[in-house]
Amino acid sequence: MPKHIVRLITLIAAALVVALVAPHLLTVKSFYRFGHYRANAVPEIAAREPVYQTPRYCYGCHTARRAQWSAGSHKTVICEVCHGPAQGHPQNGKLPIPSDTVRLCTQCHEAMPGRPHTQPQIQVAEHSGGQQCTVCHNPHSPKITAAVAKVSGDAAAGKQQASACASCHGTEGISPNDTWPNLAAQNPAYLARILAAYKSGDQTDPIMTPLAQALSDSEVQNLAAYFGSLNCKATPHGKAVGDVAAGAAVAKNCTVCHGEGGRGANPAWPKLAAQKPGYLMNALKAFRGGLRKDPMMAGVTRGLSDADIANLGAYYAAQTCQTTK
Ligand code: HEC
Ligand code: HEC
Ligand code: HEC
Ligand code: HEC
Ligand code: HEC
Ligand code: HEC
């Protein structure tokens, strides 16, 4: 037989086989059972495991996440928006943890015309400097709240007590030493909180811990009010180790919390402008090493090199500071 006839017969035979076998493989069981209705039966669809499960499904197993999430401002953003459909989880494996949070979070938060203002918006480049959003935000409870405790102390009484501090922090709150911090014009709410932290043991320092433990709560308030009210002075800084211009580039990532030039953004958080460079470097290394604990600073310092830290120290030490009004 000629070759082309063989090919033709093979082709016809193959088509026949497909025509006979395919209906058996592709037809769903309910085909023809419901008259002319040729798709899956409603009971069959209802019996399938849904692709999306709603947060209620996650509650039983991820209790801690759920508690955090339902207490925060993301309780309207359901888990599966960020973690993908739960179908088959946990039997068939873990759900993905989003790694590119810039991409994920900007889908809802990037400022754009027409986006309803009930959904908080940011200018991404200025806000995060390209860092992952999770460096500063907890995705399950993203609002960064700084409880600003009211400082009710009496600055005049604080002045009396401050004589005990003058040897290290200076009579005017400007320290004589490169590694001891200036206190003049620091935010009073921050000073009160950090002194209370030394007192309670949440933060430890061989020098400051015993000194703070000897202070009463009202003395802490008075001292915070006093040092906060002092005039700040740009300190004549000697030779800082780092490079100011290189520090300025890294410091863009710090502005949301510490303000432009370290002059303060939120009264609960420390100002950094004109602080002693050696102290700044020690503090940053302590955060990075986990010796000083703060969830936000831990995230921020994780990626800093020793050179970055020296440059940041030089940059903030060189900034002009502002007296608290
Ligand atoms: C029946 C219990 C159960 C339910 C329901 C459940 N999970 Fe899980 N989930 C697990 C277990 C077990 C793991 C694996 C934990 C491990 O190995 O560290 C896991 C892992 C995960 C992980 C990855 C954690 C990691 O460390 O890699 C994510 C994300 C996650 N679940 C999200 C969800 C979400 C969102 C829901 C609801 C839609 C949900 N889970 C419902 C039990 C459950
Ligand atoms: C806005 C997005 C978003 C929502 C909504 C969300 N998550 Fe997550 N989740 C994340 C991100 C991002 C991470 C990674 C956290 C990190 O890198 O610090 C994560 C981490 C996790 C992990 C792993 C934690 C770990 O440290 O190993 C679990 C489990 C989890 N989420 C469960 C849930 C559950 C349950 C819900 C709903 C109640 C939920 N998530 C809602 C974004 C989200
Ligand atoms: C599906 C949209 C969506 C995604 C994705 C999303 N968010 Fe949100 N987010 C919201 C909505 C809506 C609110 C406001 C909730 C409210 O106030 O009721 C909110 C609130 C916030 C707030 C609190 C603002 C305030 O002042 O209360 C922050 C911060 C935030 N989101 C950061 C993030 C981060 C970081 C991510 C990524 C891990 C993220 N969001 C992902 C929709 C989203
Ligand atoms: C360097 C730390 C940092 C990073 C990184 C960061 N944020 Fe923020 N974000 C903050 C701080 C601090 C606030 C509170 C600022 C304030 O009170 O105005 C805030 C506030 C917000 C708000 C609330 C704004 C409002 O008007 O209420 C949203 C939304 C938000 N961030 C989303 C994001 C998203 C999305 C990303 C990732 C692209 C991100 N953030 C990365 C520190 C950061
Ligand atoms: C013997 C020297 C010495 C004396 C006296 C002293 N301090 Fe300190 N103080 C330090 C040192 C060193 C640090 C930095 C500790 C560190 O690196 O964690 C510090 C840190 C602080 C801080 C934290 C500053 C910041 O920016 O976080 C405050 C607030 C403070 N001292 C207040 C006081 C007060 C109030 C007194 C008087 C009651 C006092 N100190 C007496 C040496 C001293
Ligand atoms: C999301 C907010 C946030 C961001 C971003 C941030 N910080 Fe902080 N920083 C804080 C808070 C809160 C504290 C107070 C921590 C404490 O109480 O121990 C702090 C403390 C510090 C201190 C100690 C100050 C003192 O007087 O003891 C230094 C230094 C510092 N930050 C430097 C930086 C630098 C440099 C960057 C940028 C690379 C940065 N921070 C970014 C929130 C932030």
**pLDDT > 80? residue 102:** yes
Mean pLDDT of 218-238: 85
18-38 pLDDT, tens digit per residue, is 999 998 888 777 777 766 666
- Report the distance separating Cα 163 and Cα 192, nearest Å: 17
- Report the distance separating Cα 38 and Cα 166, nearest Å: 88
300-322 pLDDT, tens digit per residue, is 998 899 999 999 999 999 998 87
Among protein residues, the one with the nearest Cα to ligand 2's atom 32 is: 65
172-181 pLDDT, tens digit per residue, is 999 998 999 9
Cα 138 to averaged position of ligand 1 atoms, centre (Å) = 18
Measure the N-to-C terminal CA separation of the chain; round to a whole number of Å.
Answer: 104
Beta carbons of 293 and 283 less than 8 angstroms apart: no
Beta carbons of 116 and 83 less than 8 angstroms apart: no
What pLDDT, on a 0 to 100 scale, did the predictor assign at position 48? Answer: 83
Among protein residues, the one with the nearest Cα to ligand 3's atom 26 is: 143
Cα 13 to averaged position of ligand 3 atoms, centre (Å) = 61
- Report the distance separating Cα 210 and Cα 60, nearest Å: 46
Cα 299 to averaged position of ligand 1 atoms, centre (Å) = 24
What pLDDT, on a 0 to 100 scale, did the predictor assign at position 35? Answer: 66
- Report the distance separating Cα 258 and Cα 250, nearest Å: 13
122-144 pLDDT, tens digit per residue, is 998 888 878 889 888 989 999 88
Q: 90 preceded by cis ω (within 30°)?
A: yes
273-297 pLDDT, tens digit per residue, is 999 999 999 999 999 999 998 888 9
47-91 pLDDT, tens digit per residue, is 888 889 889 999 889 998 899 898 888 999 999 999 999 988 999
Beta carbons of 115 and 121 less than 8 angstroms apart: yes
